[in-house]
Amino acid sequence: MTTAVHLDGITKRFPGVVANDDVDLAVERGTVHALLGENGAGKTTLMNVLYGLYSADEGSVVVDDVERHFGTPRDAIDAGVGMIHQHFMLVDPMTVAENVTLGSEPRKWFGLAVDRDAATRSVDDLCDRYGFDVNPDDRVEDIPVGVQQRVEILKALYRGADVLILDEPTAVLTPQEVEDLFDVFDELTDQGKTIIFITHKLGEAMHAADDVTVLRDGENVGTVPADETTREQLAELMVGREVLLEVEKTPADPGDVTLDVSGLRVSDGRGVEQVSGVDLDAREGEIFGIAGVDGNGQTELVEAITGLRSADDGTVSFDGQDVTGRSRRHRIEEGMAYIPEDRHERGLVMEFDLVENGLLGSQHSPPYATNGRLDWTEARTHAEDVIAEYDVRPPNADASAESLSGGNQQKFIVGREFARDPRFVVAMHPTRGVDIGSTEFIHEQLLGLRDDGAGVLLVSSQLDEVRGLSDRLAVMHDGEFMAVVDPETVTEEEIGLLMAGERPERFDEGDGEQRPSTAGTPGGER
């Protein structure tokens, strides 16, 4: 088997940080190679060197046995290297064919016009060749995230990529879409393509890759065949210590209802109802989980609960106070923290530094503000405390949010929200894009809040996470709760059926599982 990519002694420095330190990496042609590591380990930086976004300070890049000097991504593309970034770079109002061919459109009339029919045919041919179920005429804004990712892959293939780099490709996909993506990997490698995918998820690396390279603190600490290692061994390589891979928790001791939602109906920005009469009660000292495929109303439900979206009908009560029409600021002041689904849109101002981002939501309150004047010394101390406690990298309070990796952005948001000492936390995908060591830490923090008497509403598309942490679990489908179940006794197959909108027979036989409407009672039906 020949080597498609060989990185030899790559070193890349930024001010105050050595992102890659003498890294070697060899990737065999026609294989899937996982690049595994914690956030800030240097994975994306190394691939940005291969793709021509960065120039290495030391070392060499060899593709197809030829040493390359990539000054720009265009040079890498010309050499057959393509990269699909974690945040897609698509133009939503344009069609699939227009996005795939953008910048390299087929022309007609002596080059005076774009040949749209030829573009559609080219994309159709690519879809047939690689088994992609994608309609070239669909607008990107109308297709699911998993299909959008395939459009990004098609863009790279259209430009002749033989080596495809995917940065955290599963971060925004449902479990079924993840399996579909891995099927795409198989199809591509069967046709001689080489895949390098960046991830921090052990199970995915072992399931989808032929070989796994682990980076830690900018160094290559080992490359192993995926079928000759274990999750525990990879976790220890990543973190440098033994890691607890399963959630361990003591039984909950629920107290009074702190969040009471009754008959909530919420529409999206187009006026289409996304939440249809949901009831829920979340209590002090427990984690109430919501599982479901993304796009079934979880976003609108959470935004109505946190004050970011108005409800069409129903009520939201917090600590016995009707807050349905109250602002997000009011809910923060009353003790409701929020870890948002979209860290860029809802969690951070990307151009702000971490001192400024650490103030968001608290800029009106002591100790950061007195008589309308901000105390920047106190704000800096706060940001530095969050950075230290949550191991945000680089550990620089003056760094802008946009300069951090996605996982480090997430860690900073989680740290900022937990530092409010909240009585209730709404956590939506709190570990999305976060490495295994930080995931373990965030889980411990959520359980610690619960054990100290705070309430937690946890929304996650990762079944292992939501089942492992939750004391009660609602399964959401098409804007409704299909059931509220005991995560200790419900099976994965039953959850899958509920997520698909089917209620297993035993849920209709009154066998002790909770039904959807539970607001107002500790554990039984209304």
pLDDT digits (tens, 9 = 90+) for 105-140: 888 887 788 888 998 999 999 999 888 889 999 999
Give yes or no for a contact between 218 and 19, defined as CB atoms under 8 angstroms apart: yes
CA distance 30 to 34: 13
| Nearest to 245, CA basis, from 206, 284, 211 | 206
Q: In 3-state terms, what secondary structure has residue 296?
A: coil
Residues 16 and 68 occupy one common structural domain: yes
CATH number of the domain encompassing residue 170: 3.40.50.300
Residue 7: per-residue pLDDT:
97
User: Domain check: are 331 and 352 in the same one?
Assistant: no
Mean pLDDT, the chain, integer: 90
Q: How far is CA 187 from CA 50, 191, 243, 392, 393, in A?
A: 23, 7, 34, 38, 36
Asked whether residue 248 is assigned to any structural domain, the reply reads: no
Contact between 469 and 289 (Cβ < 8 Å): yes
Domain boundary among 377, 404, 421: 421
Distance separating alpha carbons of residues 355 and 363, to the nearest angstrom: 11
Residue 482 placed within a domain: yes
Residue-wise burial string across 201-237, b where 16 or more C-beta atoms lie within 10 A, e elsewhere: bbebbbebbbbbbbbbebbbebbbebeebeeeebbeb
Q: What is the four-CA torsion angle of 423, 428, 432, 434, rounded to 10 degrees?
A: -10
Say if residue 62 is in the same domain as residue 186. yes
The DSSP secondary structure of 84-151, one letter per residue, reads E-SS----TTSBHHHHHHTTS--EETTTTEE-HHHHHHHHHHHHHHHT----TTSBGGGS-HHHHHHH
Q: Give me the helix-helix angle, 376-389 and 406-418, nearest 10°.
A: 120
* Average pLDDT, integer, range 397-421: 92
110 and 220: one domain?
yes
Pair (374, 397) in one structural domain: yes
According to DSSP, residue 228 is labeled G
Q: What is the C-alpha separation between 393 and 412, in angstroms, rounded?
A: 9
Specify if 133 maps to a domain. Answer: yes
The pLDDT, as a whole number, for residue 508 is 65
Number of C-beta neighbours around residue 180 at 10 A: 16
Range of the domain at 194: 3-239
Amino acid at site 425: V
| Three-class secondary structure of residue 79 per DSSP | coil
- Answer whether residue 249 is part of any domain: no
Are 115 and 231 contained in the same domain? yes
453 in a structural domain: yes
- Give the residue with greater pLDDT, 379 vs 176: 379
pLDDT of residue 222: 95
Q: What are phi and psi of 380, to 5 degrees?
A: -65, -45
Helix, strand, coil tally for the chain in percent (to 5)? 35, 25, 40
**Axis-axis angle for helices 116-130, 145-158 (nearest 10):** 100
CA 293 vs. chain centroid, Å, equals 14
317/305 Cα distance (integer angstroms): 9
**Distance, CA of 476 to CA of 499 (rounded, Å):** 6
Distance of CA 302 to the CA centre of its chain: 17
CB 450 within 8 A of CB 252: yes
Contacts for 22-25: CB closer than 8 Å, 24+ residues apart: 22/58, 22/59, 22/219, 23/59, 23/215, 23/218, 23/219, 23/220, 24/220, 25/213, 25/220, 25/223
Pairing of strands 257-267, 273-283: antiparallel
394, 455: one domain: no
Other CB atoms within 10 Å distance of the CB of residue 93: 9
What is the reported pLDDT for 374? 94
CA dist 79 and 133 (Å) reads: 28
Q: Report CA 456 to chain centroid distance, whole Å.
A: 20
Boundary-marking domain end, from 391, 421, 451: 421
Once rounded to an integer, what is the mean pLDDT over residues 284-303? 93
Q: What number is the average pLDDT over the span 402-414?
A: 89
pLDDT of residue 295: 82
Q: What is the pLDDT of residues 478-515, one digit of tens each?
A: 999 999 999 999 988 888 888 888 888 777 655 545 54
Q: Tell me what pLDDT residue 87 has.
A: 76
Q: Exposed (0-12), middle (13-18) or buried (19+): which is 26, by Cβ within 10 Å?
A: middle
> What pLDDT was estimated at residue 510?
53
Same domain, 188 and 287: no
- Within a domain: residue 289? yes
What pLDDT is stored for residue 439 in this prediction? Answer: 84
Is the pTM value of this prediction over 0.85? Answer: no
Whether residues 97 and 233 fall in one domain = yes
Q: What is the pLDDT of residue 393?
A: 85
Adjacent-strand bridge partners of 195: 32, 164
Does residue 251 lie within any of the structural domains?
Answer: no
Question: Which of 22-26, 42-46, 247-251 is predicted with the least confidence, judged by mean pLDDT?
Answer: 247-251
370-381 confidence digits (pLDDT tens): 888 999 999 999
* Among 406, 421, 436, residue at a domain's last position: 421
- Which tokens is 241 given? 């210590």
Is residue 420 predicted with pLDDT exceeding 90?
Answer: yes
Q: What is the pLDDT of residue 513?
A: 52
The letter for the amino acid at 176 is Q
Instruction: Tell which wins on pLDDT, 496 or 70.
Output: 70
How many alpha carbons fall within 13 Å on the CB side of residue 318?
27
Where residue 175 falls among pLDDT bands split at 50, 70, 90?
low
* Cα–Cα distance, 393 to 405 (Å, whole number): 8
Is the separation of the CB atoms in 278 and 264 below 8 Å?
yes
Range list of H helices, 341-405:
354-359, 376-389
Domain identity same for 105 and 49? yes
- Same structural domain for residues 322 and 358? no
Whether residue 435 lies inside any domain: the answer is: yes
> Could you check whether the bond before residue 367 is cis, i.e. omega within 30 degrees of 0?
yes
Do 132 and 115 fall into the same domain? yes
Mean pLDDT of 433-443: 80
Beta-carbon contacts of 63 under 8 Å, excluding residues fewer than 6 positions away, are 4, 5, 79, 80, 81, 163
In angstroms, how far is the first alpha carbon of the chain from the final one?
65
Tally of structural domains, the chain: 3
